[in-house]
Amino acid sequence: MSESHLGSKATFSLPRHLVGFDLRRLPSYRCDVLVVGSGVGGASAALAAAESRDVVVLAKDKLELTATAWAQGGIAAVWSDEDSLDAHIADTLTVGGGLCDPAAVRAVVSGGRGAIEQLLSWGARFDASGGGLELSREGGHSHARVIHALGDRTGREVQRVLKERLLAHPRITCFESVQAVDVLTDESGAAQGVIAWSQQHGWIAFLAESTILATGGGGQIYRETTNPPSATGDGLAMALRAGAVVRDPELVQFHPTLLYIAGAARALISEIVRGAGARLVDRDGVRFLERDLPDGELSPRDVVSRAIFRRMVATRDTSVYLDLSGLPGDVREQFPGIARVCGYFDIDIRKDPIPVRPGAHYMVGGVKVDLLGRTSVARLYACGEVASTGLHGANRLGSNSLLEGLVLGSAAGRHAAEQVLGRPIAARERASGPRIWPGDERVEFHLDDMLYSLKSLMWRNVGIEREPELMQEACQRLAFWARYFFRTPVEPARAVEVANVLTAAALVAHGAMEREESRGVHARSDFAQLAPEPYHVEMQARVDAAAGAMSGEDASILGLAIQRVPPAVPLAAPLRRTL
């Protein structure tokens, strides 16, 4: 579609709520603390809050079907005498590219041993060797400090333990197959729970004094991704619509090695394989990383991803190849999950090179929070991948994410519980949803087609290496799609996900345009160097309050306020410049 058809504006507009509702006519469930999400961050928050308060956990699917369960990598924690907290902190800061918050880094790294000990006490089964935990080294780490379970199934083991604890706790009630749609707020703008769609019961209001978003990331905005289908940026979009500040959404980490078989769903080939000695080669068997990067296969993920991307372009191939043939022992026993997936495609990982290419893996940016998980919206918290805590900076050090979820998820849960004072819950009783298309004409809407087009657009225009013209095109096209998508009635489940994917994609694209430098995971062709001083890109919804007052309904969100903010600026800092 030409620019003339898209229009020259890239202003992104959306409604405050995705659906209209009247709380007086909806069934409601009340609790002290509401947690949206059951992965490592959400489960840790719920268990911590339940030490003193009644907690409800909402799971979009089954409790165990989370991005955490998909995590093949491990948990980074200082465990051996040869390692130190200072070394882990230094590695995190180095990979973070000048945007880490040192206080956040120290807080999370210092909590590593305690988090592992807690999981062990709950029955976690981590790989052991010589009477102690087996430790491996991954890209960006100066020491072997990554703890695994069953080789490449750490996330699944962590999720198993946390699910068992959630279900056994007398103060925690879990609801599965419930899609949180929007954050409910009172007249002051403070969070009061969420409105949600239940596959079994329809619309329900979950009301709470403290609300914690732990919904994971938004990898599904890209065609190539390691994320599960549920990773549709729900918490990011919900927080934006509720008025929270979003920080550095453009910082998306691409994992270097996804199994690439045309037509098949992508599968992550964990970094643990390269840590064990696997080599990346091109179709001619050339080990190109050894020539281009000092640390070869153990270089940080953003560097490896870009090197693979460039090699694919240079060789005109659809992938590069991961060679495990030189590893000692039976690699099928060391990496059973990878062996199983590859075996389905008749790839014997003992001798056959695995075709791999990069894919979207982790949202480094997210909802801006402090070390207690507080967002800029009163009584709204965020933890896990949906949150921007300052730990990761401009690039996540591998295996720090499960650690962050354990440590800062618990911190958010404890503080959220402390804020429960028995206050009456007074959420706004009514809200308007998206405007209906004017007149009698209805536009037939193909959600699958929009989602495929969006994912392809983001992969092509706002991917591993970014060019200004392509990013601008993405912003314009996303704004165009939003204008007509949000004029139509939004039905439950799938359309809500598409709305959130569209919103998350716009945040990433606009953030990428604003960050005029190459830093960490963000690489621009026109700004190849670092900016003279580091800065964060912060965004907030720009609300048309006057229109809401005139109509007696919710205000519309007419655009994004955006500005560059120096590191360590507190949550309350106002955003001025608008798009």
DSSP state of 79: -
Provide the residue type at 8 as one letter.
Answer: S
Give the residue numbers marked as catalytic. 301
CB distance 349 to 327 below 8 Å: no
CB atoms within 10 A of CB 470: 17
Query: Residue 416's closest CA among 389, 385, 377?
Result: 377
What's the angle, vertex CA 174, arms to CA 168 and CA 175, rounded to 5? 150
What's the angle, vertex CA 510, arms to CA 508 and CA 514, rounded to 5? 115
Q: How many CA atoms lie within 13 A of 245 on its CB side?
A: 27
Query: Residue 377's closest CA among 319, 346, 414, 416?
Result: 416
CA 273 – CA 537 distance, rounded (Å) = 34
Query: Residue 237's closest CA among 33, 538, 505, 416?
Result: 505
CA 21 – CA 24 distance, rounded (Å) = 9
Q: Which two tokens stand for residue 244?
A: 């929270």
CA 76 – CA 402 distance, rounded (Å) = 8
DSSP state of 522: B
Torsion of CA 199, 202, 208, 214, to 10 degrees: 30
CA 57 – CA 438 distance, rounded (Å) = 39
3-class state of residue 57 by DSSP: strand
